[in-house]
Structure 1
Amino acid sequence: MQELLSRMRRPDLEFALIKSTEKKSVVGKWKSAPIQKVATMAAVKNLLLETVDRLNPNEFQEFKRFLQPTAGPDQFPHTRTWSPAEIQNRTDLVRVMVEEEGAGSVERTRSIFRDMNRTDLLQMLPRSRAGMKETSTSVDSVDCGSVEQDSSSWTKVDPELDGTSPDEDPTYSLQSAAGHFECSVSGLRWVCREKVGFRYRFCSWVGHMERMESRGYRPAGPLLDISVLTGKVMEVQLPHWVCTDDVPELLKNFAVLHVGDCGDVLEKATRVTKTHVGLTEPVFSLLGALRNLFFSPRIICNTLIYYQPKTSYLKMHVYLIPPDPALKQEITLRPDSQDPNFYEVFIESPDENFNLELLQTHSEKVWFCEIRKDDHPKSGSTGGGGCSTETVTVKKEEEHFVDKHRETLIQRVRNVEPVLDGLLQNKVLMEETYDRIRSLPTSEAQLREIFSCLRAADECKDIFLSILQEKEPHLITDLQRKC
């Protein structure tokens, strides 16, 4: 068990286990006492290094200054003043502390962390040499190498929605005092020792995924653009959607993408829990959790079902997407480049209730839903299953719908090829024009060229709009609501 906890990088539990074993030693095991002492000191060193390594250079110097005043002999009888020559780095510091104070160096470190107001590090250490049962985390709640706090340890904070234009992604603002906090919208967690204020917005992984896969990673959580306005965040924890029970060596198989002015940086995670990937002393910009590409763990998904009303048949598109808030704004509803990116269910004349099930390997049922007749009425502009694809009424005397939302369509339609196919099939584009537009390097360039070809022909714009309604229904519905 000690070896397992060491491999899982849980020095706090390793230390607790050894101290518990010491108390339960029997007389016949007296010959193992020297070995037990060595094991205890090794666990103490690992435990202290785990916490001291989280101090930045200035805090490390402050920690050493707190060591210099001699404590009372009744509290720390072995404490002495150490010369600077003995402490060149953090490893030297821990070695000297353990040599002088043994297991008492843990309580000594706790005392210094209290003076430094580092409550976050204080929680990583047992509260006393004799009271190991007071530690807040038990062996049964170990989460594969991370010091995971219960959700009740985090104070939920409701963000404020900043005013944005209809064509921009919403931005959220947050403020907090010192402590441990969690955003109620994004699930983002942060630890601070002073008042902080920051803002964030959800971003799309589209445009980043190919680069990440070339470096051996895939997205494991939402991509967030974070800017700190005031104060300093000591640790940030990004939400992820991976089932960690299937992931070996969590810290090695998770990383954090940091997109800054100098390009992509893959940072090593300092903490991985069942729900979050953590970084200490983070530098903020565009951040997102990543998982190793070379294993396929189970992931948490939302099931979205869309159907087309006012038809005699029933055709449903069933999407499985990770719980990424940014995907709610993405018109393709896909986390990667898979094609098709949905399951299609077609029933010619549905006249009774039926069930949808999602099965894992070996027929393990992982999702179930009953679809009732009333969920897909044959008439009406909306239904219980998803978004409406009701035809948008175009008044000839007013600006056409596609002209009114030209720039938004150019920016948000990413899968242009099906649109081009529809325009070609409906004789809006000739073969030569179709080939020329397809050869353009970006979706924005392709759409601008499509608009230039449509010109003032409202009939062609009507066809273009009907194709967008079929291929991008939730985008058109979103724009329709904003009219």
Structure 2
Amino acid sequence: MKELLDGHLKSEEDKDIFYDIVEKWIPLIQAQGPRLDSQSESVDKLSSGGPPQFVKARTTKIKMPTVVQVPEVHWITLKPEVICGNDEDTPIYSLQSDAGRFECGVSGLRWVCKEKVSLKYQFGSWEEHMERMEALHFIPGGPLLNVTVIAGKLEEAYLPHWICTEDNPEVLGKFSVLHIDTCGDVVEPVSEVTPSHVKLSQPHFSPRGVLMRAGFRIKINCKVLIFKTNLAFLTLHVYLIPSDPALQQTIKSKELSSGYKMINKPYPQKSLKMGKYFALKANMDSAEMTPENLKLEYVGSDPNFFEVFIENPDSNFQLVLTHTSGQVWTCIIRKDDYINTGDIQRMYEEELARLRPELVRNMSRELINQLLDDLLMDGVLNDGEKDSVLQENDTRADRARCLIDMVKRKGCEASRKIICHIQSRDPTLSADLGLPV
């Protein structure tokens, strides 16, 4: 039905107006007659397989619990200790606290205790639960946490969420909590919501996470993650994701293991609309962006990303994230962010050393002569050095070998220049060597 309506609503503005009206009228329609709702006083249970099964049939009007939005209070942030688990991709975090109000600095989990407590947790994956949640018309609204209280007792516990509630009070009634136990999945109602957390009705744990009723237009708090290559050219992977620490952990682990390095930049200050498309732009003419736009959605383990490619960056540039309504986020990528003296030294000299055997075998006499002229004009070589390459080496391979070694001795900038000249002078050879052309 939604796809059919979207086909008739041509502009984003038309869709926003229509769905705003729908969201206001649905609660009134539901209040006039019978309904089945997982946020009523009983809870929905799902068996591990098969369709959803309700604990009891509900054919009369059921009173919804009153959901109260509570302002934020002061919490003491604790940094967890990482302990080894059986799976390297899902580390176990350990926390200890005395009496008070505390928040984990990694997951955002909050708790209140009157005595010393010790607990541990792991991030869970929403993927195995997505199909069942979609059948009940829910989407993830926060990270899935598997918490174990080792010692002591929690008086209160709060799960983090990434839903924006500040400018949409009607969204408060659409929160639930997924509780995974040995009997299956239980969807529980909530009674208290803060701008960043949902209070658990009972601070007893098994894997739990915040859910949001699907089918409504919501805004979510987001993060932009940027990773860079450490090569002679610059490639950025830019992710736009919900503010999910578990997903951040997954992405960071994957990118770092592939040799990328993270560039830390401020996150978007304003919440963004779920399901909308966003485009990334750079104020550098040589920058190439792929894809043109991305949809903001929750993808549990392998989200898509923008790839930004710049062949020979040599200055600061700006990244801008836009929506049809305008600019929603921007940052400056400075030269020091993607390159520093130590990186340059390793980057170009190691690249030239890697290419040396293939260059000696494949550089033509014509290319060698062109490079000698280019490097003489750049000031990398002088007339005497150019002549020595030509006069003291009879074979093509010897001239190539002498030229490369001479340039390597002159340092990183000279290595960068000869690589750039090879790219522009012989695109075919560059492609064979794995250089961008």
Q: TM-score range by the shorter chain?
A: 0.3 to 0.5
Higher relative contact order (CA 8 A, sep 6+): 2
Scaled by the length of structure 1, the TM-score of the pair is 0.44
Higher helix share: 1
Higher strand share: 2
Scaled by the length of structure 2, the TM-score of the pair is 0.48
